[in-house]
Chains A and B, each alone.
Chain A
Amino acid sequence: MVDAVISDVRELSAPRRKSGMRRMLQRKSTIAFFMALPLLLLISLLVLYPAFYAVHLATLNKSMQRFVGLSNFTFLFKRETFWMVVRQSCLFALSAVFFKALIGFIVAHFVHNIPAKGQRKWRGMLLIPWVIPPAMSTLAWLWLFDPSYSAFNWILALFGFGPVAWTGDAYWARFSVILINVWYGAPFFLIMYLAALKSVPEQLYEAAAIDGASWWQRIWYVTLPMMRNIIAITVLFSTIVTFANFDIVQVLTAGGPIDKTHVFATWAFRLGIQGGDIPLGASVSLFMFPILAFCAIFILRDIHRRGNEAS
């Protein structure tokens, strides 16, 4: 508001001959637009263009010579493997996000209660899984889960258990890829929740304590409502990223055994790049887009509404 008044005053005091173009260039919104323009161009080039190109590819036939509309999608809907991949992707994303959020929430509380002096070290250490590129850390996990020389199996054998076919058995393979995703992603939740916890006013907890609120009631009636927005955003963001995960599954199991760990991205890669059917691969990768976009709109609308209510 103050900015607007100042700019109005400046406009009034400016010489009349100042052109409309110059006035427009001096507006804050115009300057902001020009400053953001390189980023907008970059996003258009690297995100929007490939996205629209993928949509275009998904409407072509296998040899990419003919427009076939939505035929690739109707073809996929008739495939048993496709629905298996849908189920697996949902299982992978939802369970991984749930455990990442849960572990992040619990560990954030632990870290929050550590005295400020030693907290920095813990924060740094706990962030390590998140800062290592997942393709690289998954290689280390691959060694731990190796079909024939698993380090975990070696430890289990010391106690007379195993061996477990970590990547050879469908259920263990699913468990393994979800575990790595949780290990990789939990620090993101941790750091976001820790920041949110620090912003909860201490007076609210004091008031709750005076009212005789139990530990659980303080979490339920104070912490969670205060963290609602950040929880919604992190869950949304992580769900989108986890649904699109490629590297962990590709490095650890490459979708096997017998396709039981494929997710959208790995199956799209198998069909499109390895199998040479780029339109079908593009269709698989686009399948989740409308569903995730729908979720994103609703969650963001809810956050916006709560933000308005609060102000």
Chain B
Amino acid sequence: MRSHITRRAAVKSAALATTALIAAPYVRGAHAAGRLSIGFWDHWVPGANSASKTLVEEWAAKEKVDVTIDYIPSQGMKNLITIAAESQARSGHDVFAFPSWQPQGHAENLEPVNDIMDELIKQNGAVNETVTYLGKAGDTWLAVPATVGSQIKGPCSRIDLFKQHAGIDLQAMYPAGAPPKADGWTLATFLKAAEACHKAGFPFGIGLGTTADSVDSAGAFFHAHGAALVDAKGNITAKSDPVRQSLDFYKQLASFMPPDIPAWDDASNNKWLVSGRGAHIMNPPSAWAVAKRDAPQIAEQLWTHGFPVGPKGRYAPFLPYFWGIWNFSKNIPAAKSLLVHLSSRSSAEKMVAASGGYDLPSFASFTNFKTWAEEGPPKGTLYHYPNPHNHQVLSIAAAPAPPKIAYQIYTEGLQTKMIVRYMQGEPMEKTLAWAESELEGFMRT
């Protein structure tokens, strides 16, 4: 059976429907401001995700946005794979937590956030140069520095072993609640302490693999010598005296460390400290947190402090995470509103507390939360973790090379590979020539 609708009847129905639609009252629904999909980094501190979840839900209820959150782990680089896939597909989450180098790698797919960053800096204080270096392309802010996941990979050492074998009182040098008294904490002192602890059977444990922890430590020591493989203008500067000095320093340091450090990954240093076999590692307080749970007698002896000063200054590796908005997001205004909410002082403080002091906001006025002052045992062990007295320059390995080149230097672990080659007996000039040829490859556009 076929129904017959005349042209006149169809026009009449359409007119009635349109009138009804316009005349209907505007009802603001539960999710009137649309949807927002978020890809957060899955925190390895148990329970730390709950803070970001609560904060987002509070905001979503207030703004009437329907929010979904996925916590994506960095284990197995799942977050990097997701970023690469979403960037290729131009589809996926609206907001994503980008590890340090990723905003620069995906600059053309990110929504500029100058408007909110200018406001946040006015409100919360300046961000350090590393955040600017990684988060800004020219005059454009690519993403907002995130509290969750950002970290300083500073020294974490055994109070008892340093006192007993190296004659160094860490708590006096870095007193809780007061500025550091670390003028004598130099690279030479550091080497002497490494040698003394090695002789006592408790070597320092600083990896020389190609994972982030190893690369970050190497980068800070290179900076302390004023060594850069590529300068800010993109010129290769590998064959320079500061680079040679850095390699010599590391060769000496490596002789006081376990022979298998070229195979260490980001878990090895934690295990080294928690096992009680080592006197010192470079890491955020995750090792201390694990020790607090699994080996409390060791945790009580751990103190997080600053890097030793080198001929060109005192540098510590800072690895910020960023919250970025894909430019293919369907709800950019809501995404920006959320990032402002997450970047407030109260939000940052909640996230820091939930992570037991691990997470680190990038804004200058956010380094004095009570979590760092009160966490223990020993009480005050994390006081110097956020660099509250601007005692050290927060840097990232491979800077100041242009970010797209630095990114290659960093992910390839060029500095640690140079160190391993040299320490395993390759002549210095051969190592430098090899590095130079690798760097030429990284210049590819």
Which A residues are within 8 Å of any B CB, using their own CB? 61-63, 75, 79-81, 147-149, 165-168, 173, 253-259, 270, 272-278, 280
Interface stretch, picked from B114-122, B300-308, B309-317, B433-441, is B433-441
With A165-B263, A254-B265, A278-B84 as given contacts, are A79 and B408 in contact (CB-CB < 8 Å)? Answer: no
Report how many residues on chain B are interfacial, defined by Cβ distance under 8 Å.
38
Pair B445/A256 contact, Cβ less than 8 Å: no
Pair A273/B77 contact, Cβ less than 8 Å: yes
Determine chain A's interface SS by DSSP, over half rule. loop
Pair A273/B407 contact, Cβ less than 8 Å: no
In order of increasing CB-CB distance, the 7 nearest A-B pairs are A168-B260, A168-B263, A147-B260, A257-B262, A276-B105, A167-B263, A147-B263
Is B166 engaged at the interface, CB distance under 8 Å to the other chain?
Answer: no
With A147-B264, A259-B417 as given contacts, are A275 and B408 in contact (CB-CB < 8 Å)? Answer: yes
Tell me the chain B residues, 231-274 only, with Cβ under 8 Å from chain A. 258-265, 268, 271-272
* A257-B209, A280-B444 given; 18 more Cβ-contact pairs under 8 Å: A61-B445, A62-B445, A63-B108, A75-B444, A148-B271, A148-B272, A149-B275, A165-B260, A167-B260, A173-B263, A254-B211, A257-B263, A258-B421, A270-B412, A273-B80, A273-B81, A276-B411, A278-B88
C-alpha gap A149/B263 in the complex (Å): 12
Which chain B residue lies CB-closest to A269?
B77
Tell me the chain B residues, 55-83 only, with Cβ under 8 Å from chain A. 77, 80-81
Pair A79/B441 contact, Cβ less than 8 Å: yes
Which chain B residue lies CB-closest to A259?
B417
Measured between beta carbons, the chain B residues less than 8 angstroms from A254 are 209-211, 265
Measured between beta carbons, the chain B residues less than 8 angstroms from A257 are 209, 262-263, 420
Is B379 engaged at the interface, CB distance under 8 Å to the other chain?
Answer: no
- With contacts defined as CB atoms under 8 Å apart, how many contacts are there between chain A and chain B in the complex? 82
Measured between beta carbons, the chain A residues less than 8 angstroms from B268 are 147-148
Measured between beta carbons, the chain B residues less than 8 angstroms from A75 are 441, 444
Measured between beta carbons, the chain A residues less than 8 angstroms from B434 are 80
C-alpha gap A265/B195 in the complex (Å): 40
Which chain A residue lies CB-closest to B262?
A257
Tell me the chain B residues, 124-173 only, with Cβ under 8 Å from chain A. none
Measured between beta carbons, the chain B residues less than 8 angstroms from A276 are 84, 101-102, 105, 407, 411
Which chain B residue lies CB-closest to A80?
B437
Measured between beta carbons, the chain A residues less than 8 angstroms from B412 are 270, 275
